[in-house]
Amino acid sequence: MNKNLHLRPHDYFVTGTDTEIGKTLVSAALLHAMAQREWRSVGMKPVAAGADLRDGVLHNEDVDALIAASSVNAPLEWVCPYLMQTPAAPHIVAQREQVTISLPHVSACYRQLTQLADAVVVEGVGGFCVPLNAEHDTADMAQQLGLPVILVVGLRLGCINHALLSAAAIAARGLRLAGWVANTVDPGMLYPADNIAALQARLAAPLIGQIPRLDLSTDTVGAEARLAQRAAAYLDLNLLK
């Protein structure tokens, strides 16, 4: 676990109640909000599965979004030490692509980033307990980094159960849930306000933002970056404990 946690008050680990739930959007929005406060900030996604080769360089959409939102430039090998091509469960892809995911190496890359920035936002992969190899999962990774956790709750049917289970898993690892974000993934969900109220009554952490469904224009260059900037307006960093 990170022994210098008390010296890094603006570092967070972002996880979600599921995959494709808005972790990258929230992580990039956090980076934009931090930049507005003139904090030197950088995003990190230790493990990413799903990349395209462009001009001899692998690109992952999530990693690219974090890089675009960061106010500090950092080497790609620190931002994403394990970037794999196939878009599937990371432990399966790692085995098939002969990649050995090492948690000490992830921690070493995180420490390198702390030398460059006042704030490091680390985005997990999938939900909180996604396997990385035969021995470890993303919960182990979060525990080794020892950072306070921000939970992205995707607003859709079943989100209350998923959020409470995720919060319990975070607490079981001895980690602090610093805050949570309600992200609208199903705009047709019934009674979203009631679901949010139920979670506010049950999660021992503040709601730091409720993000509505934000449309992404697919034919405009830089649309994802502007999407994250718009999402940042819905976050209140003052609420983070």
- Phi (first) and psi of residue 36, to 5 degrees: -65, -25
Measuring CA to CA, which residue among 234, 119, 128, 135 is closest to residue 184? Answer: 234
Token match 């610093």: residue?
178
Q: Looking at the annotation, which residues are catalytic?
A: 45
| C-alpha span between 128 and 109 (Å, rounded) | 20
Chain mean pLDDT for the chain = 93
pLDDT at res. 4: 46
| C-alpha span between 230 and 226 (Å, rounded) | 6
| C-alpha span between 11 and 113 (Å, rounded) | 11
DSSP per position, 83-119: EESS-S-HHHHHHHTT----HHHHHHHHHHHHTT-SE
Query: Where does residue 193 rank: exposed (0-12), middle (13-18), buried (19+ CB within 10 A)?
Result: exposed
Reported as a single tens digit per residue, the pLDDT across 69-119 is 999 999 999 999 999 999 999 999 999 999 999 999 999 999 999 999 999
Residues facing 122 on adjacent strands: 13, 44
Percent of the chain with pLDDT over 90: 87
pLDDT at res. 216: 65
Tell me: pLDDT of 166 over 70.
yes
Hey, what are 214's tokens? 């934000």
Using the CB atoms, write b or e for 48-68: b if 16+ within 10 Å.
Answer: bbbbeeeeeebbbebbbbbbe
Summarize the confidence of residues 33-60 as an average pLDDT.
93
pLDDT at res. 224: 75
Reported as a single tens digit per residue, the pLDDT across 194-234 is 999 999 999 999 999 999 998 765 545 567 778 899 999 99
Q: Which domains does the chain have, with CATH numbers?
A: 5-239 (3.40.50.300)
| Residues in Cβ contact with 121 at an 8 Å cutoff, skipping those fewer than 6 apart | 11, 12, 14, 27, 30, 31, 34, 41, 42, 43, 44, 66
Please give the single-letter amino acid code of residue 112.
Q
| Residues in Cβ contact with 112 at an 8 Å cutoff, skipping those fewer than 6 apart | 74, 78
